[in-house]
A and B are shown apart, each in its own frame.
Chain A
Amino acid sequence: MSLVDKFKELEEFREKSKLGGGQEAIEKQHRAGKLTARERIEKLLDPGSFVEIDSFVVHRCYDFGMEKRRVLGDAVVTGYGTINGRKVFVYAQDFTYIGGSLGEMHAKKITKVQDMALKAGVPIIGLNDSGGARIQEGINSLAGYGEIFYRNVMASGVIPQIIAIMGPCAGGAVYSPALADFIIMVRKTSYMFITGPKVVKAAIGEDVTFESLGGADAHAKLSGVAHFAVDNDEECINLIKKLLSYLPSNNMDDPPIVETGDPPDRMDEELNEMVPADPKKPYDVRDIINRVFDRGTFFEVHAQFAPNAVVGFARLNGRSVGVIANQPMVYAGCLDIDSSDKIARFVRTCDAFNIPLVTFVDVPGYLPGTKQEHGGVIRHGAKVIFAYSEATVPKLTVILRKAYGGGYIAMCSKHLGADFVFAWPTAEIAVMGPEGAIEIIHKNELMKAKTPEELKEITDRLVAEYRSKFANPYVAANMGYVDAVIMPKETRPMLIKTLEAMSTKREIQPRPPKRHANIPV
């Protein structure tokens, strides 16, 4: 073979490796409203930055006629490149060849980039589109999943792991995304479940569609498995880029600082009018968030899931922060099983990646009822306390209105290590709400009432008395549990100054050595 022939051979292999399952399958993929694996990578990465790895890898299965179905690349495209100039590793499953199924060599390609991303200390992005385990390859497929999961866990808290579900993802395949930091699902073309509608029907007689069982909205709204639901591939890829802009490359790094052009000393007079003095009146806490942080930077995570809490990223004078807030507009902003999960998970994600926490509190307490108690609101609620206590990033808290009982403690109070607690003049920080408190404290006096009118009169008087005496920020400020009571409009400049002061924060007290803490999962 001449030199020319040898070079030509390589060229031919290269061309062949780009085809995946062939032209017809590519067209089918397009008709389904989906981009191909290569098109997705091309849109995700900076132009010309993609470097492919393992494009000549093939499976080594000789059963069931598989030796005749061998395609270069084995249904996954892997490699690295840059997004807005920042290095990332990436893999994209190729549905056009044997349904993007995962066998031994396919898995080895993924674990190779997982290892490389971890060594390099840069984020890894997975674009999943796979029918699941390649049955023809038997337990070697299962071994492959196991190897991927193990690496997901090893990389957890070291490098950001973002996984987009852009096609089917069923059975064991769901657990790699579940172990990552963020899941994005595309509406109508993606679904995730442990067992599909057919098995559900056979096992428990339930009739359910793919979309209602495991579609993007089911997971973004009900299960909380997905952090984001988007309409199409393009939107999905843009969201990944945006999400990445708030995250550092690894746990030893800081998130990029972005010039937002919003003056750090800006005071928003309208903030003074945002929280109604009447504790029975709801409001949208996102209106406050949008006014405090750098304009247009609030990026909500888990927006549809447990909407009685709001979490997301934002910027304060260009610095990335994690925002957590109770949402008085939904269930009065109470904590419950799902909102506790949502908050705890987000706090831990931020803490792992050096993102300071800013918490806005307006919480009446925990949601009562058998559904909550029997569902384990105690152990789920405990996660919020655990996550906040454990977090060592700067922790700033702003008490807007209600901060009662266990809810007060859990929402990043001074007692859980908040570095700075601000309270607005509308804050009501007390052991419990006035109505409940007087029923206990003034039980005897209330029992003296002879008529319902008299009872109401006594109740109203005692509630008013309790409210003026205890339902304010000053009792807590007298104790130093609140560091400063501020005008709402001062919130932005105060947060920026405090964040600046705490940006070099180190936990002074060494924590006791341990194998690992035992969060009540």
Chain B
Amino acid sequence: MTIKVKVGDEVKEGDVVLTLETMKMENPIKASRSGKVREIKVQPGRFVNVGDPLIVIE
């Protein structure tokens, strides 16, 4: 997993905010809406489950 933004960044809907690796595939995760990154809830190398919040955008 690579995180492409940091807290405070402005992101636009559709921007790639992180890549998530499953089955050796690097899936780009896009911002669902525009806003400012308030919190990053994940770290590279950690496992996440379906439905887990990854990045909070306000």
Contact = CB atoms under 8 A, between A and B. Distances in A.
Contact of B26 (A282, A331, A435): A282
Contacts of B22: 331-332
A458 to B, nearest CB: 19
A328 interface: yes
Interface residues of B, number: 8
A280 B26 CA distance: 5
Chief secondary structure at chain A's binding surface: loop
Contact of B24 (A329, A364, A367): A364
A6 interface: no
Nearest to A364: B23
A194 to B, nearest CB: 26
Residue among A282, A328, A367 with the highest chain B CB neighbour number at 10 A: A282
Contacts of A435: 24
Chief secondary structure at chain B's binding surface: strand
A435 B21 CA distance: 15
Interface string A324-335: 000011011010
Contacts, number: 27
Nearest to A308: B23
A294 B28 CA distance: 30
Interface residues of A, number: 13
A280 B23 CA distance: 9
Contacts of B25: 280-282, 328, 331-332, 364
A214 interface: no
A329 B21 CA distance: 11
A492 to B, nearest CB: 27
A329 B27 CA distance: 7
Nearest to A363: B23
A348 B25 CA distance: 30
A433 interface: yes
A329 B28 CA distance: 9
Contacts of A334: 23
Interface in A329-387: 329, 331-332, 334, 364, 367
A125 to B, nearest CB: 36
Contacts of A279: 24
A328 B28 CA distance: 12
A435 B23 CA distance: 12
Nearest to B26: A280
A331 B24 contact: no
A367 B26 contact: no
Contacts of B27: 282, 329
A328 B25 CA distance: 8
Interface in B12-32: 21-28
Contacts of B24: 279-280, 332, 364, 433, 435
A332 B22 CA distance: 7
A332 B20 CA distance: 11
Nearest to B19: A280
B22 to A, nearest CB: 6
B1 to A, nearest CB: 13
Nearest to B21: A280
Nearest to A435: B24
Contacts of B21: 280
A507 B57 CA distance: 59
Interface string A415-433: 0000000000000000001
Contacts of A282: 25-28
A334 B25 CA distance: 10
Given A282-B27, A435-B24, 4 more contacts: A281-B26, A331-B23, A332-B24, A332-B25
19 contacts: A279-B24, A280-B21, A280-B24, A280-B26, A281-B26, A282-B25, A282-B26, A282-B27, A328-B25, A329-B27, A331-B25, A332-B22, A332-B23, A332-B24, A334-B23, A364-B24, A364-B25, A367-B23, A435-B24
